[in-house]
Structure 1
Amino acid sequence: MAMTATVRHSAFHALRVAEVDRLTDDAVALTFEVPPALREAYRFTPGQHIAVRRFVDGVEVRRTYSVCDPAPADDADTDDADHADGGAGVGPGRLRVGVRLVEGGAFSTYALKELRAGDELEVMTPAGRFGAGAWTAVPETGRGGHFAAVVGGSGITPVLSIMTTLLARRPEARFCLIRSDRTAASTMFLEEVADLKDRYPGRFQLVHVLSREEQQAGLPSGRLDGERLEKLLPALLPVEAVDAWFLCGPYGLVEDADRTLRGLGVAGDRVHQEIFHVDTGAVADGTARPAVPVGATVHATLDGRSGDWPSRDGESVLETVLRNRADAPYACKGGVCGTCRAKLVFGEVRMDRNFALEPSEVDAGYVLACQSHPVTEKVEVDFDA
């Protein structure tokens, strides 16, 4: 029988913290050292994230943070000095993420107040599909393309990786960044974005909106809502001619930006989203929820191994699998990060929330295991698909 390649999931390794850099009063950048033996495992694509975990009083705490570095060079791009490689065709020697303090946050408080260079943390290998393949659909002729992003607050982190990678690898590409922050002092990665302006003056456009502080130059202060975006975007660039839009930040901003772009005639497959800070009461839609059958069975395939397990009352598919496979992939359990993405092979599930999968993925049969509850007596999912 022919063997099929398996997909690695939820692989944690202890990585040394190389640097803890203060970005703002309430945010730091963490840089992890990746030893040579693990560099291929930590190879990432622009827009992906990692999960970090620690145990507090015996309770596991996981948090997800986007990688802000440019992606490692492909074999064909190994001359590019902008990529943080560990060598030709090898993954990164370092990984950098941004962490913003969340009031009462179990990990962010630790990261800002206690974590030091030299400490070790358990770090999951990269995951996520934010904007996956968006630029590969743009014709390579001229190595160009026109791209844009609307981000809010810490939503800059994955987009910084996407922007830096695109501008470095595509000599004719153009990128317009519209970012919103409370104040200049609260703006993460201010210097890195300014460096892009200096490095690519003719190809990188920056528009910065501050909601709680007036600027001497530029746009007046105020919230970047749908009404404002509807006037601003067409004045900045040819909206419909942009090959790919990247939206990242708080739920309200991303929803407003998406709705505005659709109203301006942008096709849905050109808009890529990643949500930060979703209200716990928010749901993906308002449709009625079918009842979960008693005694449902979940069949799951993970890393090439399969099993059948009974679902307990009220459990998600992920919770059922986790009781029997501790290595099941997850990070946020909130329908946001997409780490638990799986293909629904058989049966029907009720997916409560979805802020990670794009419509094309849902149409192809993918679900978020952490948000999916069995509707039929048997459900089969494949985490390797």
Structure 2
Amino acid sequence: MTAARHGVFHPLRVTEVERLTDDSVAVTFAVPPGLRDVFAHAPGQHLALRRFTDGGEIRRNYSLCGLAPGPEGPESLRVAVRLVDGGAFSGYALKELTAGDTVDVLPPAGRFVLRPRPGHFAAVVGGSGITPVLCMVTTLLAREPKARFTLIRSDRTSASTMFLDEVADLKDRYPDRLQLVQTLSREERQAGPASGRLDEQRLTELLPALLPVAAVDGWYLCGPHGLVQGAERALGALGVPRERVHQEIFHVGGEPAVTGTGAPVPAHATVTAHLDGRSGSWPVREGETLLETVLRNRPDAPYACKGGVCGTCRAFLAAGEVRMDRNFALEQEELDAGYVLACQSHPATERVELDFDR
């Protein structure tokens, strides 16, 4: 079996670029037999893609969609890319990428996952947040006959709705086990919920009318920060235990979300990093994050967004203390267990030790 190393990209050939909406595509990659165990993934995980331009290296995360592979690993991988204003990678994917091209791809990562098991599960998603949840729903219903799913999705218009036909096909295939609720914020509908945004107040009223909220075994929230935050507060107000709520945020924007104490960085801080069975210690330069220090000496350190959103740079804090600027990726249980985001962490003690292998 091939051992996956944290920061190692693999060139994969594009086999299809499928237009989903005017501003989104699905990109399919072929996986060679020797890499199928490396690219095995759980429902809900994502890939980091890389390209080089005159401005340097660009990395972006995109969620895997479709049926998750079995133990033999995938023959292909499919991700969805939505155009972002000024997006260096999304613009390339929509306007230039074609079948036959090669893209550098990191092995799957992420802990926003739902492994098939019996129970009733539900999701509140917005826009491209459907992508990881589509993988969850498809895999769960195909592999666990005693599972049910309620999918509540919000989009601007029908024309902007990604995977509209695929979700409709799932509903037709599993009419008794998939409950689908579609809302549109900028378009009136003949049937279903009234148009408008799914904010905290609306969800607090809507959810109990749709399903037995307290009986749901797991809630999965994915999309823009405002939607996820509102859904999380609504579920809290409805008495859902925090451990049943899982989230992945897209499009954070400029929210500060400072989680640290603001303590000054020690003048002579050193970080020790354990990565792929090798260790090293290096001085932290003024203003650097711990990830930046590690990358100066270990370019294979894992990262993608550098914005505290994707969680690719998650590491266990084995010694010392850190201050994190932002955290939109780690859940409270992970923080309590000692994990940090290296891309957002600054040393708060003279010695800090990170373990990327744990």
How far off its partner does 1:9 sit? Answer: 0.4
State which of 306, 323, 338 in structure 2 corresponds to 1:365: 338
Residue ranges of structure 1 left out of the alignment (5+ in a row): 1-5, 74-88, 137-142
Q: How does 1:1-385 map to 2 (within 5 A)?
A: 8-57=5-54, 59-73=56-70, 89-131=71-113, 144-285=118-259, 288-385=261-358
Which residue identity lines up with residue 315 of structure 1 in the other structure?
E
* SS of residue paired to 1:148: strand
Structure-1-length-normalised TM-score: 0.91
Change (3 A) 1:365 1:7: farther
Aligned-partner residue type, residue 189 of structure 2: Q
Tell me how far apart the structure 2 counterparts of residues 90 and 284 of structure 1 sit (CA, whole Å).
42
Question: SS where residue 354 of structure 1 aligns?
Answer: coil
SS in 2 for 1:280: coil
Unaligned stretches of 5+ residues in structure 2: none
Report the Cα distance in structure 2 between the residues aligned to 1:324 and 1:332, rounded to whole angstroms: 19
Q: Percent identity?
A: 69
Q: How many positions carry a matched residue from both structures?
A: 357
Shift in Å, 1:289? 1.1
CA displacement at 1:335 relative to structure 2: 0.5
SS at match of 1:194: helix
User: CA separation in 2, counterparts of 1:27 and 1:108?
Assistant: 9
- d(CA) in 1 for partners of 2:258, 2:229: 11
Runs of 4+ residues deviating >3 angstroms = none
Paired with 2:160 and 2:258, the residues of 1 have a C-alpha distance of 30
CA distance in 2, matches of 1:22, 1:32: 15
- When the two chains are superposed, the root-mean-square deviation of aligned CA atoms in Å is 1.4
SS at match of 2:20: strand
Alignment check: 8 A CA contact 1:135 1:244 kept: no
Deviation at residue 7 of structure 1 after TM alignment? 6.5
Instruction: Give the Å deviation of 1:158.
Output: 0.4
Q: What SS does structure 1 have at the residue aligned with 2:159? A: helix
TM superposition shift of 1:135: 5.1
Structure 2 SS opposite 1:180: strand
